[in-house]
Structure 1
Amino acid sequence: MSNGKKLRNARRARYLIVFNALSAAGWTYIIYLAFSVIIGQRASSSAHNFSKSLLSYIPTSIVTLFSLQPQAKATNHFSNTLASFLCPYIPATYNSTFSALAPLQSFAALEIIHVFLGLVRSPLPTTVIQVSSRLILVSGIVERFPHTHSSPLYTTMILAWALTEVPRYAYYTLSLAGCSVPIWLTWIRYSTFYILYPIGAGSEALVMLSTIPEWSGGRWAAWGLEDWVKAGLVVIWAPGLWVMYAHMMHMRHRVFGVGKGRKSRAKPMDRAKAK
């Protein structure tokens, strides 16, 4: 190998190490912000219950007069019912996390460029599916529809993303740097998708569904083009999840697959994007 090619490979590796390390740190920060809200809500639950018991002795008209205005609701009955069921258990985390989530997810769009330029060896279709679907959710849905800001499904969505991405980016940071990847990190990287992918994809579809107007009683006939497009995206979320699921199961088999009577340890590929 010529010195010029070695230099290019070294620069490529350094760039990808920095990209993965920054991405891992960014998603770790998202987890910290989200759990700060969750823990804070649990810590204040006893005080909330005490104040609620006091309010029960005050006439309803006075309580209504001084209460805060409710958050804007979803645009269909199903989504409102689901959100009402989940809200007592899962707090909204938009106010704490979105200012960090939006630029971080935009930063992840570089992964498509990495594949296109040949910097990494991830399959382009799965990379485009994952990155573009998240960008649609962040910029096209959450940012445009204020009622999603108070949705517990926003919280489950971003936590599923973050808990998937931190091990993935950490795994490739270490392998690109030539470090030994701990077995526990390898296991987390190639096992937690069984739970996190359905939670993430399901939350994505339900967040988008909450922005679609009511369809019962034939009211779908009044939908506009955007509503039909969003409904179509919700429908294809399940087959899209299966594509990602099948790819991850294939990758897991390559890493932990049984061969010649023992587990094989596939050498990680030098890429930033692992599916």
Structure 2
Amino acid sequence: MSNVNKLPNARRAPSPVVRCYLIVFNALSAAGWAYIIYLALSVIIDQRASSSAYDFLKPLVSYVPTSIVTLFSPQPTATNQFSNTLTSILRPYIPATHNSTFFALAPVQSLAALEIIHVLLGLVRSPLPTTVIQVSSRLILVWGIIERFPHTHSSPLYTTMILAWALTEVPRHAYYTLLLAGYGVPIWLTWIRYSTFYILYPIGAVSEALVMLTAWGLEDWVKAGLVAIWAPGLWVMYAHMMHMRRRVFGVNEGRKSREKPKDRAKAK
């Protein structure tokens, strides 16, 4: 699932400093998510990523407090039969990619927490509720579930989840990088940014919920409650993106659909 990172109101353009900052933020985010796609695909096609790039970037995650949650509770090791069965079915087709991608996923997804601050400071006009839902749900998964529960590391659903995230985020951040930089955004990139969510959102939401279910422990009921809100949360994000897509594409399409046959003939 992905929130919308819209530009400030056209009547009040961002200052040069803010614009430069947002360009750098979106460009770095797009590059980070693209690198995650590369790492995941390199595992899927049975090819190792460049060792030099891996060795250069892997130490970055050491600066992130990867054990914040475990300071307050012991490391859980629970799993369940449903998760084991599902994993055994999917693993021949979708490999686990945690060992090759988490070192990059952790800092890239954590960087997205700045998007909430952007909204609060008025740097962008994204709706706060959808931004909070998007960012907080992913941070819970990255730090509260994946980093904390080792059994999730071997799940193919981790792979489908991060690919759904990355394939959503690369076009989104690339779109806003070009828009903020003043370059023309290609129509194909606009179409991808406002159309692929139809497929990627359900894949991402289902994968997220099932990844959570692979980590049953002392907090079973809490996690069950979180999973229960995934469906309405998906609908909120889905409806928001459909609204945004209509705003981008729907004006001319709606006008054509409302024209009477005679009007169309006259226009021709």
* Shorter-chain TM band: 0.7 to 0.9
| Unaligned 5+ runs, structure 1 | 1-5, 42-71, 214-223, 263-275
Cα separation, partners in 2 of 1:149 and 1:10, compared to 1, 3 Å: same
Q: Which portions of structure 1, spanning 4 or more consecutive aligned residues, are displaced by more than 3 angstroms?
A: none
Instruction: Tell me, in whole angstroms, the C-alpha distance in 2 between the residues paired with 1:230 and 1:20.
Output: 32
* 1:236 matched to 2:235: no
Residue 261 of structure 1, CA deviation:
2.6
Residue 260 of structure 1, CA deviation:
3.1
Cα separation, partners in 2 of 1:252 and 1:137, compared to 1, 3 Å: same
* 1:152 matched to 2:156: yes
Q: Residue 29 of structure 2 contacts residue 108 of structure 2 at CA under 8 Å; is this kept in 1?
A: yes
Aligned to 1:135: 139
Partner letter of residue 241 of structure 2?
A: M
Q: Residue 94 of structure 1 contacts residue 155 of structure 1 at CA under 8 Å; is this kept in 2?
A: yes
Aligned to 1:32: 38
Aligned to 1:261: 256
Tell me the alpha carbon deviations over residues 235-271 of structure 1, each in whole angstroms, 9 at most, x when there is no partner.
1111110100000000000011024338xxxxxxxxx
Instruction: Tell me, in whole angstroms, the C-alpha distance in 2 between the residues paired with 1:184 and 1:148.
Output: 36
Cα separation, partners in 2 of 1:231 and 1:212, compared to 1, 3 Å: same
Identity %: 81
Residue 169 of structure 1, CA deviation:
0.2
User: Which of 83, 87, 92 pairs up with 2:91?
Assistant: 87
| Unaligned 5+ runs, structure 2 | 1-11, 48-75, 258-268
Instruction: Tell me, in whole angstroms, the C-alpha distance in 2 between the residues paired with 1:90 and 1:126.
Output: 30
Q: Residue 37 of structure 2 contacts residue 167 of structure 2 at CA under 8 Å; is this kept in 1?
A: yes
Matches within 5 A, 1:17-96: 17-40=23-46, 75-96=79-100
Residue 73 of structure 1, CA deviation:
8.6
Cα separation, partners in 2 of 1:261 and 1:228, compared to 1, 3 Å: same
State the secondary structure of the residue aligned to 2:15. Answer: helix
* 1:204 matched to 2:208: yes
Residue 109 of structure 1, CA deviation:
0.3
Aligned to 1:216: none
RMSD: 2.1
Tell me the alpha carbon deviations over residues 77-96 of structure 1, each in whole angstroms, 9 at most, x when there is no partner.
11111111000000010011
Aligned to 2:56: none
Cα separation, partners in 2 of 1:115 and 1:30, compared to 1, 3 Å: same
Aligned to 1:218: none
Instruction: Tell me, in whole angstroms, the C-alpha distance in 2 between the residues paired with 1:103 and 1:122.
Output: 22
Q: Give TM-score, length-normalised by structure 1.
A: 0.76
Q: How many residues align?
A: 218
Tell me the alpha carbon deviations over residues 129-160 of structure 1, each in whole angstroms, 9 at most, x when there is no partner.
00000000000000011111111000000000
Q: Residue 212 of structure 1 contacts residue 231 of structure 1 at CA under 8 Å; is this kept in 2?
A: no
Q: Give TM-score, length-normalised by structure 2.
A: 0.78
Partner letter of residue 231 of structure 1?
A: A
Tell me the alpha carbon deviations over residues 176-205 of structure 1, each in whole angstroms, 9 at most, x when there is no partner.
111110011000000100000001111000
Partner letter of residue 22 of structure 1?
A: L
Instruction: Tell me, in whole angstroms, the C-alpha distance in 2 between the residues paired with 1:242 and 1:129.
Output: 12
Q: Relative contact order (alpha carbons < 8 A, sep ≥ 6): 1 or 2 greater?
A: 2
Whose Rg is larger? 1
